Structure 1
Amino acid sequence: MTTPHQEELLPATRRALLHRIAVAQSEGRAPSLVAAVVRGGKAVWTGARTSVEGHAPDERVQYRIGSITKTFTAVLVLRLRDEGALDLADPLEKHLPGTGVGGVTVAELLAHGGGLAAETPGPWWERTPGSLRPGLADVLGERPLVLPAGRRFHYSNPGYALLGALVEKLRGAPWEEVLRREVLVPLGLRRTTVRAEAPHAGGWAVHPWADVMLPEPLEDLGVMAPAGQLWSTAGDLARFAAFLVEGDERVLDPESLREMRTPAAPAEAADVASGYAYCLGMEIRHQHGRSLVGHTGSLPGFLACLTISVADDVSAVVLANCTSGPAPFTVAADLVRIVAEAEPRIPAPWQPLREADPAALDLVGQWYWGTSAFVLRLSADGLVSLEPLSGNGRRSRFRPTEDGTWVGLEGYYAGERLKPVRRPDGSLSHLDLGSFVFTRLPYDERAPVPGGVDPEGWRGIG
């Protein structure tokens, strides 16, 4: 199984990838399994094992992707936020009144932090027709909140049904129509659909103690569709993975996608220990010493995973048509590891700034917070980074603003303002970072260090 770009990976790497999915399909007893690896914004390898309807599955064969649908729904919500139609801090009631859970915020719903129940009341929603749940009241039930809002991560499928309804309310159109118009068409995801389109895999349950199978029902999920309805392919999900890293101004810019990939829900102790965190429609897991962001998915008859190592510029997609069997995240993480270790990312060549800003150049060099030494660097992307020279402590990159200050992008200083303070003669006095004063010398007597500096200066014991 090849793609036009497969020759970009070495033969030994391709064989290792094929071996990994062959083991997964064989030991996991999956009727079929298809996978793809993405690097540099394009698929560089696809592979498949066994057959769908008598044909070897390829990057065009559809599988149900389950909860990876949630990432698509989250993209729609972030688009509304970027347009100013809502704020993530808004309570749901502001835009979608009458749900009974209106105090939960949009951000809490995106991050599964709203305290909503994990599943719907009544029959197993994934194996029964959506017509049994015609409205939001049917997916929320009489006790929609099982935990206090905002206190802990608690995965909720009904929460994403609410987000889909929010999109419909603000767009004035069905969720699937908005998704197709605003995401699928611009990104060229022609084989990602709400309902199956040939060629597609059938969903199967494999008997746990015998090598026999049972077909699973392929139900339309109704109002639960935004939580898990979509069908897609290895090829389309490879393109979607590239978008989740690089962005596309027609859909979402890179900064909003960076926000989507940032943990946003209070984690439980067990999640912290396992290296799991939930973001805004995406999951972060730690495996093989690297951070992987994406989403897993499952519906009766199907397993799916899309995962991304941003640092390695490697993504992987794994799709199988069985209710249980191979662990899709483990397989996808192994595919990322194989490529990242066998063919490490080649760094982009160093390039100098096109034009140096004298005011920014004036900031670079060594600074002290009290007696702790820091260095401030200016990089070719126009950002500055403040890092402790010891290697331990708070660090962040900062982007410039029009008023001459700099805004923190991550860590303790995310959103905080770094302000260069100058003397009357224009010379640089110190940096003010959220009331912390950074000086060119430890406790520089020429700078307004809070608490003042002893006039006798530095001295020994005697």
Structure 2
Amino acid sequence: MTTPQEELLPGTRRALLHRVAVAQSEGRAPSLVAAVVRGGRVVWEGSRTSVDGHGPDGDVQYRIGSITKTFTAVLVMRLRDEGLIDLADPLEKHLPGTGVGEATVAGLLAHTGGLAAESPGPWWERTPGSLRPELADVLGERPVPHPGGRRFHYSNPGYTLLGALVEAVRGVSWEEALRREVLEPLGLDRTSAHPRMPHAGGWAVHPWADAMLPEPLEDLGRMAPAGQLWSTTRDLARFAVFLANGDDRVLSAATVREMRAPAAPSEAPDLAAGSGYGLGLQLQHQDGRLLFGHSGSLPGFLANLTISLADDVAAVALANCTSGLLLGSLGADLVRIVAEAEPRIPEPWKPLQHVEPAVLELVGQWYWGTYGFALRWTADGLLSLAPLARAGRQSRFEPNGDGTWTGLEGYYAGELLTPVRRPDGTVSHLDLGSFVFTRQPYDDETVVPGGVDPEGWRGIG
């Protein structure tokens, strides 16, 4: 009988262990534990340690810091899916009296609400949450340094407000809502607001000496929805599978796909080149692949969750040091090692179950002006529009049941694709958000906005 770790080739397993060992050694981390997920389960685990009296494995808790924000975002999206809130709602509609009520729910999720990055007063990550018992203590006297919706500005108080929003709508604590609505359905029984044995201790490593100092493990109180949680690599591996595929007990596949879509302005100056932010998820283009997930840090701990949907690979890395390790780079490298050494084997091609003549009539070559596109009907029941030559706008479309189709991604996300038919029922052209797609470039038999010159195509003479 084989074990999950034997499903990766020996060379791949060694490359993963080598990368983790180098990160722990050069980053001088007291301990580092990592896991790789493929096919919906853990296929590799590795760890390196020098202190704490235990060999860390996938069941040892570490504090995960801002990965907590993704859990909070899931709770908020559940409220939206149930019709209890709208992402465009101003906070004031559901949580009055904060003084920052003009910020929208979506703006808080994407860090575009204009709120300050940190809570005023003593360093909140190293002091008891009892110092900030009310939202006013979290927000301070200057809670909105930027105009809402104008720029990405990472905000811990913003996620505190989202946690308070969950409490106001649900009528229970953030922790109780999280346990009941997310942790229990997904089987994350080693994820909790407070540490449970076995767990790692938090350490600061001296920058100029190989010496360590214990870090305080504070209860963040009101700030908990921004960074309180403890978890394990095995629990976060299950969470990664959920973020990739959805789970109807928590959120649908369509909603987690929405969370992964860029929501912060593309010119966001606070984001590194090639990166962005969705609704509770960090996004990054690296090594030619799109990665999503979240990083986390609190004094004594670093955490990272990185997922590549196209490669069907996710990586989790947890360490118990305040600084020194670049876990984002480590996570991306673990994904890359598996993706390059063992490329994903495609699912077998399968034909459509049922062929509808009205849809089959739509496929083939179309032109938007002089740009050539191919429209294909795939076995998953979607239409796929892609340029024939150079890079250009492309999207998949899902049927609406009335002959129209709605775009799922890219420029055409949410836009309506409508086949326009002649009196005899044949397809004249496609209307895509007012753009006319014809069978021939500027087809003179089709009504093209602006008209088509009656003399037609010509040369120089």
For the aligned pair, the TM-score class normalised by the smaller chain equals: over 0.9
- 8 Å CA contact 1:18, 1:47 repeated in 2: yes
Change (3 A) 1:123 1:272: closer
Moved more, 170-179 or 430-439: 430-439
- Structure 2: distance between partners of 1:429 and 1:191: 58
- Structure 1: distance between partners of 2:162 and 2:216: 26
Aligned length: 460
**Cross-structure match for 2:188:** 189
Change (3 A) 1:459 1:208: closer
- 8 Å CA contact 2:139, 2:157 repeated in 1: yes
- Structure 2: distance between partners of 1:412 and 1:18: 40
Other structure's SS at 2:306 match: strand
- 8 Å CA contact 1:114, 1:150 repeated in 2: yes
Change (3 A) 1:27 1:388: same
Other structure's SS at 1:274 match: coil
The 5 Å alignment of 1:366-445 reads 366-445=365-444
**Cross-structure match for 1:360:** 359
**Cross-structure match for 1:296:** 295
The 5 Å alignment of 1:62-461 reads 62-268=61-267, 270=269, 274-461=273-460
State the one-letter code of the partner of 1:63: Y
Moved more, 169-178 or 208-217: 208-217
Instruction: Percent identity, please.
Output: 76
- 8 Å CA contact 1:25, 1:326 repeated in 2: yes
State the one-letter code of the partner of 2:362: L
- 8 Å CA contact 1:63, 1:233 repeated in 2: yes
Q: CA deviation at 1:268?
A: 4.1
- Structure 2: distance between partners of 1:286 and 1:450: 38
Deviations 1:88-128 (A, max 9, x none): 01100011100000000000000000110000010000000
> Structure 1: which 4+ aligned runs deviate by more than 6 Å?
none
- Structure 2: distance between partners of 1:391 and 1:348: 27
- Structure 2: distance between partners of 1:427 and 1:285: 44
Deviations 1:163-192 (A, max 9, x none): 000000000000000000000000000000
- Structure 1: distance between partners of 2:87 and 2:192: 27
- Structure 2: distance between partners of 1:431 and 1:414: 16
Other structure's SS at 2:114 match: coil
State the one-letter code of the partner of 2:25: S
Other structure's SS at 1:319 match: strand
Change (3 A) 1:118 1:336: same
Q: CA deviation at 1:453?
A: 2.4
Q: CA deviation at 1:225?
A: 0.2
Q: CA deviation at 1:270?
A: 4.4
Deviations 1:418-441 (A, max 9, x none): 111111111111111111111112
Deviations 1:21-58 (A, max 9, x none): 11111111111110000001101001111256422111
Change (3 A) 1:61 1:169: same
Q: CA deviation at 1:264?
A: 0.4
The CA RMSD over aligned residues, in Å, is 1.3
State the one-letter code of the partner of 2:316: V
Q: CA deviation at 1:358?
A: 1.3
Q: TM-score, normalised by structure 1?
A: 0.97
Q: CA deviation at 1:393?
A: 2.0
- Structure 2: distance between partners of 1:458 and 1:266: 42
- 8 Å CA contact 2:153, 2:270 repeated in 1: no
Q: CA deviation at 1:455?
A: 3.0
Moved more, 155-164 or 436-445: 436-445
- 8 Å CA contact 1:62, 1:233 repeated in 2: yes
- Structure 2: distance between partners of 1:204 and 1:167: 32
Q: CA deviation at 1:208?
A: 1.0
Q: CA deviation at 1:383?
A: 0.6
Moved more, 3-12 or 180-189: 3-12
Change (3 A) 1:52 1:348: farther
- Structure 2: distance between partners of 1:335 and 1:18: 9
- Structure 1: distance between partners of 2:421 and 2:51: 69
**Cross-structure match for 1:17:** 16
**Cross-structure match for 1:60:** 59
- Structure 2: distance between partners of 1:452 and 1:214: 75
State the one-letter code of the partner of 1:303: L
Structure 2 residues not aligned, in runs of 5+ = none
State the one-letter code of the partner of 2:439: R
Change (3 A) 1:105 1:48: same
State the one-letter code of the partner of 1:200: H
Structure 1 residues not aligned, in runs of 5+ = none
- Structure 1: distance between partners of 2:81 and 2:101: 22
Q: CA deviation at 1:454?
A: 2.9
Deviations 1:209-243 (A, max 9, x none): 11111110000000100000000001100111111
- 8 Å CA contact 2:296, 2:302 repeated in 1: yes
Other structure's SS at 2:302 match: strand
- Structure 1: distance between partners of 2:284 and 2:386: 26
Q: TM-score, normalised by structure 2?
A: 0.97
